[in-house]
Amino acid sequence: MDHHDERPDLDHRILTALHARGTGPRVAAAARTLSLAGEHGALWLAAGLAGAATDRERRGAWLRGTALTAGAHLASMGVKRLVRRPRPGHVAPLVRTAGRHSFPSSHATSAVAAAVAFGALGARVVPALAAAMCVSRVVVGVHYPSDVAAGAALGAVTARLGARWMTGVRDHG
C-alpha cells in the first residue's frame, strides 16, 4: 500500500474490525488472559514441562518439544529485532507489551510451535488454544494480522523442522 493512500490496507482493516470485537468485557478478559499467559511463551513451556512430568514414557520427546517451542520463540525475537516494525498505532491496546516491535508475533510463534510439537504427542487441546492465542493478539490491538500469520508460519516451520529430532531420538531417560 502507498502510505499516502487514504484507504487503510487489508491488514489495518482486519485489525480494526477484530479489535472492535474486543470491547465486550468477556472477550477483552479472555484476550488479556491469553496475552498474559503467552508472554515469553510461558503457557507453552509450562505445558511442555507438565507433559514431561506426567508422560514418563515420552518425557524426552516432551522436553525436546518444549525446547523447539522455546527455540521458535527466540527466533521470533531475533526476527523482530531485525524487522523493527512498529506496533499498530491506530487502536488503543488492551494490554501492555514487552517490546515496541510487532513483526512477527512471538505469541503466535510459540503458540503454533507448541501446537505442532505437542500435537504430535497427542495434546489435542493445544491447537485450539494456540489459534485462540493468535487471534487474541489482534483483538488486544498489539499486532497486525500479518504479524500473527508470520509468527504462526515461523512457529510451524521451526517445530516441523525439529519434529524428527523431537520424536525420533530414543529416550534413555
Render pLDDT for 112-149 as a digit per residue (tens, 0 to 9).
999 999 988 888 878 888 999 998 998 888 899 999 99
Q: Give pLDDT, residue 7.
A: 53
Other beta carbons within 10 Å of 102: 24
- Please check the confidence at residue 94 and state whether its pLDDT lies above 80: no
Q: Which residues, in sequence order, are bridge partners of residue 101?
A: 86
pLDDT value of position 8: 62
pLDDT (tens digit, 9 = 90+) per residue, 21-46? 777 888 888 888 988 888 888 999 99
pLDDT at 109 over 70: yes
Is 86 in a helix, a strand, or coil? strand
Q: Which residues, at least 6 apart from 49, have a Cβ–Cβ distance to it below 8 Å?
A: 62, 63, 66
Dihedral (Cα; 104, 107, 109, 112), 10-degree rounding:
-140
Q: Residue-wise over 46-65: b if at least 16 C-beta within 10 A, else e?
A: ebbeebbeeeeebebbbbbb
